[in-house]
Chains A and B, each alone.
Chain A
């Protein structure tokens, strides 16, 4: 049981490049979400999903796309990276009906 995994751990992109941040979980949790963390801004919700085939926008969705084709995976796509997307990205899953969310280890992204 690996819990929540995120890849890569670190990534450097140039402005305009695209990439996908991967999030996977082996706990069969229905709810998954993506947050970005910037200094002094806390954790801001980007997108979330309550189950396979269902996604919704959070507080800061612009510039990001998500899909949820399986329960296990919830990738976050940056179509055209911008320096403003430099941040630490955390994926989280929620345990059943408990509302408790557990975070993955994070991906540190730098856009030059």
Chain B
């Protein structure tokens, strides 16, 4: 089955810096890669996703890149703000099947 590794487990940046979180997956059949943000005590919320036919996707300060050959994908947050502080999860799935999640990255943005 699918296995997703996520690094780093914690990340501390200064406000305005960029943050990068990386994930690798094991199943070459996986074709959907979402990223979720979870604030303390709340449910995970989808922030961006990418499919295997696309190499990069951007949404304002957030971007995701995918390297199918190496089986890894990354989340990039630019111009970080204190409200970006949260736990971020990557996940992978083959279309129509269950999402398998990484173990999460706790991002702290200090002002």
A residues touching B (Cβ–Cβ < 8 Å)? 31, 33, 35, 40-45, 48, 50, 58-59, 90, 92, 97, 99-106
Contact = CB atoms under 8 A, between A and B. Distances in A.
Given A40-B103, A42-B104, A102 B46 contact: yes
A90 B44 contact: yes
B70 interface: no
B103 A42 contact: yes
Interface stretch (B57-65, B75-83, B92-100): B92-100
A58 B101 CA distance: 12
Contacts of A48: 98
Interface extent on B, as a size class? 20 to 34
A43 B43 contact: no
B34 to A, nearest CB: 7
B10 to A, nearest CB: 11
Contacts of B43: 90, 103-106
Contacts of B95: 97, 99
B25 to A, nearest CB: 14
B46 A42 contact: no
A31 B34 CA distance: 17
Contacts of A104: 43
Given A90-B43, A106-B43, A100 B34 contact: yes
Contact of B102 (A42, A59, A90, A103): A42
Nearest to A41: B103
Nearest to A90: B43
A31 B99 CA distance: 11
Contacts of B98: 33, 45, 48, 58
30 contacts: A35-B101, A40-B9, A41-B103, A42-B101, A42-B102, A42-B103, A43-B101, A44-B101, A45-B99, A45-B101, A48-B98, A50-B96, A59-B1, A90-B43, A90-B44, A92-B99, A97-B96, A99-B32, A99-B34, A99-B49, A99-B93, A99-B95, A99-B96, A100-B34, A100-B49, A101-B34, A101-B99, A103-B44, A103-B45, A104-B43
